[in-house]
Amino acid sequence: QKEVEQDPGPLSVPEGAIVSLNCTYSNSAFQYFMWYRQYSRKGPELLMYTYSSGNKEDGRFTAQVDKSSKYISLFIRDSQPSDSATYLCASSDGSNYKLTFGKGTLLTVNP
């Protein structure tokens, strides 16, 4: 079992929809959780960074971590075509420099 599981999709939604992207993880030592957005043929861009459980909001994006169920979520409100990208979740236990990535979910927002 991979340490971070993420449904690769693809996920296709109409413009304006609320998008929910999810990951699960198995390593109880993970405390730091990230979401990266990667456009085609570009480098990953850090969207959200959270520590431990709880919610974090930044504009249209909300990251949620539930450590009791080992579940990580990213919500995108009022989705736009410019949100079309691959979204990667990543986790770390903070003891070294290693991030454990999910496989990434390919999202398409249709105008």
Distance CA 62, CA 68 (A): 19
Residue 61 near another protein by CB under 8 A: no
Question: Minimal distance in Å, beta carbon 94 to another protein?
Answer: 4
Q: Round to whole Å and give the CA distance between 63 and 24.
A: 13
Q: Are 57 and 49 in contact (CB under 8 A)?
A: no
CA atoms of 37 and 26, how far apart (whole Å): 22
32 near another protein (CB under 8 A):
yes
Which one of 72, 104, 105, 109 is in contact with another protein (CB under 8 A)?
104
Residues that bind another protein (CB under 8 A): 8, 31-32, 34, 36, 41-46, 49, 51, 88, 92, 94-99, 101-104
